[in-house]
Structure 1
Amino acid sequence: MGTMPVNRLLISMSLPMVVAMVIQALYNIVDSLFVARLGEDALTAVSLAFPIQNAMIAIATGTGVGINALLSKSLGEKNFKEANRTANNGIFLGFLSYLLFLVFGLIGSRWFFAIQTDIGPIVDYGFDYLFIITVAGFGVFGQITFDRLLQATGRSFYTMLTQGTGAIINIILDPIFIFGLFGFPALGVKGAALATVIGQWIAMALSIIFNLRFNHDIRISLKGFRPNLFTIKGIYSVGVPSIIMASIGSVMNFGVNKILLALSSTAAAVFGVYYKLQSFIFMPVFGINNGLVPIIAYNFGARKKDRIKKSIICGFAYATAIMVLGFLIFQIFPARLLALFNASDTMIEIGVRALRVISISFIGAGFCIITSTVLQALFNSKLSMFVSIARQLVVLLPAAFILSEIGGLRLVWWSFPIAEIASVCLSAVFLRKVYNKEVRHLSPDWAETPIYPESRP
């Protein structure tokens, strides 16, 4: 982390995550492809469940970012005691996060759909799907938590195996459970949910095994464990802003769905399909993101200014290239992409315009994602949170509502490029501020002392 050439290090750290996340995006799309064969109501129901699924992933990954950053910084400072404490407290926090969604799944699954629509089949499909995803969702929290321990210690290859295996199992089980192949009962949307959680369980089990057998930089032991509030505070100092940033996406998604449902249930299905498709573009960038956080955090702890700067530049270059490619795909092939989901003529008519307009925002999104990563790795996550709030709640949702009132579906999609322009401007301002404050004045000739005092025992 402190000696390998930066470009090669970023590729070696990120490539396994990119591959894993592309597979992850594939199984998200395959999930919807099979559900779409059940009808547009089933597809809409799964789309409306996305905010809760996203919230689960947001809390798991946000906490994971905090674990990753604090653990990498501790290793960079050679503070191995705090590194072990971070790992064990991170596992504890992942379990608490699951309990939150267990309670929601038991008492709030049907209510969540009933407040969005009064279309009976959508509510029934949605309840069946969301109940299983939440109540049996401990796998997603366990997998992400243990994967972050592997990433923070430079073992991203194993996370490719865990995520890839879970995704492939999900893809295989989807048609079997949904349509009742090989003697299994046809479970419909319940089958899609069951295939998802089984994939998560197996991925979690693999991640635990890889940590115990191959991750020798930390020692995982819950025997006699007691939560350490100082360490938990350190994790959440980075993690909470990340959780809020990602959860804001759920709020935005919920709000946009409400706006679209007032215009057309087909438009809500289009929006759900867009989110499945765009994951193919964004997931590789998030893979770079996950590889970049420990590199910057480690070299920040080790006071290596040049490596931090090179890491940021490489991150920007790769992320921008991926997003421009995604923009071109959405501009050239929108009808073909929608046809994958058994789209009706009406859905294609609405969706072609939606995909082309929304994808304009891709051009600036790579810069914003990497900037957010840099701010988190340099322990300025609150600024990332501010950008996310401004983009999705202050700009995007009000713009979507106003444009829907002015021009209906034809204009509502323009709220995404408008919001991205605001995000790029804020990200540029904050990146310059934090870089000048935290990195510019670092010198490799400084004494090799930790940036922050060693944690309390």
Structure 2
Amino acid sequence: MIKEKENYTKLINNMALPILLNYILLTLFEVLDKAIVGRYSTTGFAAVGIASKIIYTLTGTLGIISVAYNILAAKLKSEHNDEKFNKLFNVVMTISIAIGLLFIVIALVFGKELFINAYRLKGEIAVFSVDYFYISSFTVLLNLATFIFSVYFRNQQNTKVSFYSTFVATVINIFFDISLVYGKFGFKEFGVKGAAYGSVIGLVAGILVYIFVLIKKYKLKFVFSFDGSCIKKLFKLYVPLLFQDFIEATVFVMMLMAIVSRLSVSDIASFNLLESIGSLIILPAFAFAQSSMTLAIQYNKKEISNKILTIATFETVFLITLLCIFVIFNPKLTFGFITKDGHLIEKSTKIFWLVIIIQIINSILQILKCFLQGIGHEKFVLKITSIISITSIIWIFALANLYGLNGIYVGIIINYLICVIIYFFKIRKVNN
């Protein structure tokens, strides 16, 4: 029994830890990108912030197709159907390329109108935003391709490739960011546009790593493919997953930020600081959630799936607790990395205990949610997410009026806790 548990733990760790390192590198990728531009030009930094927010949001939303692909790919792996598994890869990659190319065309045609007429930007910041957006639109296509490659190798239980790819992409991106933004190492100075060029070059390098391993180790050559049956199955999963992400990551966040914006400047700053720290702390949950989903589908046995779910949940909570303890004992190192405002650090440290509760509950929530989506209950997750996300705004608003920032965090805790309880009993019901 102990030996069996060790095997499952090793299996999960072998898949989850490279994914976690991949997430950390991606976060570093984004932070350094902004930092390099920020040191070059304040206006450029502001412009990149606006343009990149649109790019990242749309990339995340469109990239949900990779989650649908992961579910279908894992099922085919569990059936040992390598022919259909490889065929599905070609179909999903073809669709992703088509979506990416369509976005590039839309961005090039309507990008200028978006920033000048919709965002009302003028002068230098408008020029910087449009220039950066035009070039960065290509990263949507490249990121979609990267997501699909990542899922393919995850289902081959070879997540190290994703880490190597991201590492290469990050190093090359940083080199070309510095070279092209500042005109170093014999390159022409492109300013803000240089950061966008650096991102594109870095992502291309990362994709070349995937292609090299794909051809050399798996002997798979990509061919454009449109298969009606595969596309139907894919979009049957993609649509509810897309709406669930839209409600949770866009609608709920927008309504929440509307409540936060009513607070004092000091409270808003604390919320943003704690949000930045929290987004780093929660990374293990995303890594273990994706791993547990993939493995649970591949092994396709209730007893094994439950063991994987239990181990993944325990390890995630353990890692997040360790990260929280580190932050508690090193506030100047962690909070101080983002801001030098002593008053803000002190204020945020005092209410960090609420963030700890939120992230521990959220980590369990992410794993249970992914598990349910993986075993065919994505519509149930969509329904619960929609109901709880929208109704929770009522009590979050009420608690914010009574207790300010603390009230908002208590409201979020209630939101996550209700979802965890519902998902827990749903999984229990499915098992019975």
Common fold by TM > 0.5: yes
Who is 1:141 aligned against? Answer: 144
TM-score (ref. length: structure 2): 0.82
Q: Could you tell me whether the CA contact under 8 Å between 1:86 and 1:231 is conserved in 2?
A: yes
Matched, 1:373 2:375: no
Helix, strand or coil at the partner of 1:182: coil
Is 1:152 the counterpart of 2:140 in the alignment? no
Match of 2:419 among 411, 421, 426: 426
Contact 1:401–1:412 under 8 Å retained in 2:
no
Q: How does 1:21-420 map to 2 (within 5 A)?
A: 21-38=23-40, 42-48=44-50, 49-60=52-63, 62-110=64-112, 112=114, 115=118, 123-215=126-218, 219-222=220-223, 225=225, 227-248=226-247, 249-253=249-253, 277-300=277-300, 304-331=301-328, 333=330, 336-337=333-334, 339-341=336-338, 358=355, 360-390=357-387, 392-396=389-393, 406=401, 411=404, 414-420=407-413
The 1-side partners of 2:48 and 2:341 are apart by 17
User: CA contact under 8 A between 1:47 and 1:269: conserved in structure 2?
Assistant: no
Q: Quickly say closer, same or farther: Cα 1:211–1:290, change in 2 above 3 A.
A: farther
Change (3 A) 1:38 1:365: farther
**Conserved 8 A contact 2:296-2:308:** yes
The answer to which structure, 1 or 2, has the higher relative contact order (CA under 8 A, 6+ apart) is 1
Residues 164-198 of structure 1: CA deviation (Å, up to 9, x unaligned): 22123223333333333334344444333322222
Q: Is the 8 A contact 1:102 1:134 kept in 2?
A: yes
The alpha-carbon deviation at position 131 of structure 1 amounts to 3.0
Quick one: structure 1 residues 371 and 112, their matched pair in 2 at CA, closer, same or farther if it must change by over 3 Å? farther
| Cα gap change, 1:161 to 1:414, in 2 (>3 Å) | farther
Do 1:44 and 1:268's aligned partners in 2 also have CA atoms closer than 8 Å? Answer: no
C-alpha contact (below 8 Å) 2:396/2:412 kept by paired residues: no
CA distance in 1, matches of 2:144, 2:348: 33
Which structure features the higher share of helix residues? 2
One-letter code aligned to 1:292: S
Would the aligned equivalents of 2:40 and 2:191 in 1 still touch at CA under 8 Å?
yes
Deviations 1:303-332 (A, max 9, x none): x22211110001111221233334345555
Question: Structure 1 residues 430 and 119, CA, compared in 2 at 3 Å: closer, same or farther?
Answer: farther
**2:263/2:405 contact within 8 Å kept:** no
Q: Distance in 1 between matches of 2:395 and 2:54?
A: 20
Matches of 1:347 and 1:116, distance apart in 2: 30
Length-normalised TM-score, structure 1? 0.78
Give 1:94's aligned amino acid: S
Q: What is the aligned-residue RMSD (CA, Å)?
A: 3.8
In structure 1, what is the Cα distance between the partners aligned to 2:192 and 2:266?
A: 18
**What displacement does 1:368 show?**
0.8
- Shift, 1:199, TM fit: 1.7
Letter in 2 for 1:299: Y
Q: Show CA shifts across 1:380-410 (max 9, x none).
A: 11233334445555435x6677777x48xx9
Going from structure 1 to structure 2, the CA distance change for 1:280 and 1:141 (only over 3 Å counts) comes to same
**SS where residue 181 of structure 1 aligns?**
coil
Asked if the contact 1:23–1:168 (Cα under 8 Å) also holds between the matched residues in 2, the reply is: no
Alpha-carbon deviation of 1:43? Answer: 4.7
In 2, the alpha carbon distance for the partners of 1:40 and 1:355 equals 30
2:14 is aligned with 1:12:
yes
Cα deviation digits, residues 74-101 of structure 1 (max 9, x gap): 1212334432332221112211321343
**3-state SS of 1:242 partner:** helix
The verdict on how the C-alpha distance between 1:261 and 1:434 changes in structure 2, with shifts beyond 3 A counting, is closer
Q: CA separation in 1, counterparts of 2:39 and 2:242? A: 34
How many Å separate the matches in 1 of 2:32 and 2:416?
Answer: 31
**Tell me, what secondary structure is at the counterpart of 1:379?**
coil
Structure 2 alignment gaps of length 5 or more: none
Q: 1:180 to 1:255 in 2, by over 3 A?
A: farther
Sequence identity of aligned pairs in percent? 19
